[in-house]
Amino acid sequence: MSYTTQTVWTWWIAVYLYLGGLGAATLVVTFLTDMYLKNHRTLVLWGAFSGIVMLSIGSLMLFIHLLDPRAVLHVINPLVLFRQPHAWIAWGTQFIIWMMWWGLFYALPYLVQSDRARKVPLLGAVLRLKLMNKLSNKCCLRFHKTIGWLATINGIG
């Protein structure tokens, strides 16, 4: 075994890993606090928003580092995990992508109820759609703790 310095991965990957872990931890702590300590709409909205932003910026750093659209599509494709189970960047990317979705679904009922969010021009128009209210009430509120636990398990991954 040798301890030579690798030159393939740069500091961009360190930013990706740091923001991925920080964003996932922010979402996990936010959801567990909301589920078991105190229901708090503002905490969920800020925690989910900041966690998703950190995960997005971290993923952007990875995709910029890859600089090849085929490589980005390869990392995003969930089927890669079955063909190459040793591809850790692909695993991390899948966890991040699903964590962003769980974060959005968990925060959606709070977002639909928020007066401040409804005042934002484009977001308010989307939140006023009947489809968004149905999705929020029938899916997200009904399975709120399940979504929170899926996000927690995913965030730990």
Domain count, the chain: 1
* Model pTM score: 0.80
Which of 53, 61, 47 is closest to 93 using CA atoms?
61
**Domain assignment of residue 2, yes or no:** no
Determine, yes or no, domain membership for 88: yes
Average pLDDT, the chain: 82
SS3 content of the chain, % helix, strand, coil (to 5): 80, 0, 20
d(CA 151, CA 30): 10
pLDDT of residue 24: 93
In a domain, 92, yes or no: yes
Cα→Cα distances 42→37, 45, 140, Å: 14, 5, 17
Residue 144 CA, chain-centre distance (Å), reads 16
The domain of 99 spans 11-156
Range 135-139 contact pairs with CB under 8 angstroms and sequence separation of 24 or more: 135/108, 136/108, 136/109, 136/111, 136/112, 137/109, 139/105
Q: How far apart are CA 91 and CA 20, in angstroms?
A: 12
- Count of CB atoms situated within 10 Å of the CB of 69: 9
**pLDDT over threshold 70, residue 1:** no
Is 93 inside a domain boundary?
yes
Does residue 133 lie within any of the structural domains? yes
- 124-140 pLDDT, tens digit per residue, is 677 777 667 777 777 77
Is 5 within the bounds of a domain?
no
pLDDT at res. 108:
84
- Cα-trace Rg, the chain: 18
Q: Is 132 within the bounds of a domain?
A: yes
- Is the pLDDT confidence value at 68 over 80? no
In a domain, 90, yes or no: yes
Encode pLDDT of 70-118 as tens digits.
Answer: 777 777 888 877 777 787 888 888 888 899 999 988 988 888 777 776 6
pLDDT at residue number 16: 86
Question: Which residue shows structure tokens 């009430």?
Answer: 137
